[in-house]
Amino acid sequence: MNHILITTALQAEAQPLIEHYQLEKKQCSANIFYFQRGVITCLTTGVGEKNVRKRLGAFLNETVCRNTILMNMGIAGGNQDATEIGKLYLINKITDEKNGKVWLPDALLKTGLPEMPLSSVSKGVTDGGNQYAGLVDMEGAAIFETAVQFIPVHCLVFLKIVSDHMDEILDSPEQVVSLINKQLPEIDGLISLMQNSGLVRTPLLNDQHEHLLNGLKKSLKLTATQTYQLKDKAEGFIAVQDDDIAFLSQYLKVEIKTKQERTKVFHEICTRLSA
């Protein structure tokens, strides 16, 4: 099952999810608090680009992202003619208003959601925002730009609930919680879809394989080239033979005293993996 990392800007956006999934408060070494249970994690980044880069960047640096799908979820202002208040949209294009950069999530799964472009701005918009064709927030672009360094684009999902038509400032947490709660069944369905989807592929070498190969590198005192070649051969063995490399663990106990010994053992391993 894939790991879902939900990011929100506001605590009020996260609260319904924390309660629904009974997430427990945790802390990572960068002094960042997050909520987690099983394969669902929720991280509140704070509002605005700076907060996102600092908190999300630090969090992703520490956590293993191999099977993670990031879901950015929150409220956004919407174009009055194109959007409905309370409705949930999937974002297909994010424009950073500050520098014009465009970020494009890869929509691969059937979500059934209507789609909209998103503009990320640095200040709240309350004049009606007619210049924006879709939705407006303050974090989307920074989240994408930070997260794509760790997570592939097809595993970055941006969901926004329209809270206003950019004609008022929504400053009531209760209103935010209410908007999220109304869409919770839909959000829950999407999370389930993503958890069980084939979006994240199982790597050829799993954690046990990597651990074994690292162990061999140390015990046999392999050079950098030999380490690379060993990994190459191991991948080939698993791919072609459809078999496991667990038998290599016997070599963890071999004592290597000379280069010649190392070469001999290494050659033996490669021969067995090439058979």
Partner 1 sequence: MRSAPDYLPDFSHIYIEEGAEKYPLTQDILQRFPDAVQVTISDYKTAFNRSGQDFIQQKKSMKLILAVKKPPFIYESTDILQDAGFDNFVYTTPLLNCLYNCQYCFLQGMYPSANLVAFVNEDDFFNEVRNAISHRENRDQPLVLSISYNTDLLAFENIIPFCKHWIEFAANQPNVLIEIRTKSALFNALKNIDPNRNVLLSWTLSPKVVVEKYEWDTPPLAKRLKAVRQALARGWNVRLCFDPVMIIPEWQKVYSRFLDDVFSALPADQIYDTVVGVFRMNKDFFQRARKREPRIDIYYKDYELKDGVLSIAKDKRAEVKAVISEKLDQYLEKKKIDIWNS
Q: Whole-angstrom Cα distance, residue 81 to residue 95?
A: 20
Measure CA 79 to chain center.
Answer: 28
Residues in contact with partner 1 by the rule CB under 8 A: 92-93, 102, 104, 106-110, 115, 117, 148-149, 151-154, 193, 197-199, 201, 204, 235-236, 239-240
Q: Whole-angstrom Cα distance, residue 29 to residue 3?
A: 20
How many CB atoms within 10 Å of residue 157? 25
Give 23 or 94: the residue with its C-beta nearer to partner 1.
Answer: 94
Q: How far is CA 70 from CA 51, 60, 141, 150, in A?
A: 17, 10, 14, 10
Give 171 or 198: the residue with its C-beta nearer to partner 1.
Answer: 198
Give 169 or 239: the residue with its C-beta nearer to partner 1.
Answer: 239
CB 126 to partner 1: min, Å: 27
CB 61 to partner 1: min, Å: 16
Give 12 or 147: the residue with its C-beta nearer to partner 1.
Answer: 147
CB 192 to partner 1: min, Å: 11
Give 108 or 169: the residue with its C-beta nearer to partner 1.
Answer: 108
CB 244 to partner 1: min, Å: 14
CB 275 to partner 1: min, Å: 12
Copy the structure tokens of residue 231: 């990994």
CA-wise closest residue to 126 among 81, 163, 90: 163
Measure CA 247 to chain center.
Answer: 34
Return the half-sphere exposure (C-beta side, CA atoms, 13 A cut-off) of residue 232: 8
Give the DSSP H or E segment for 43: strand 40-44
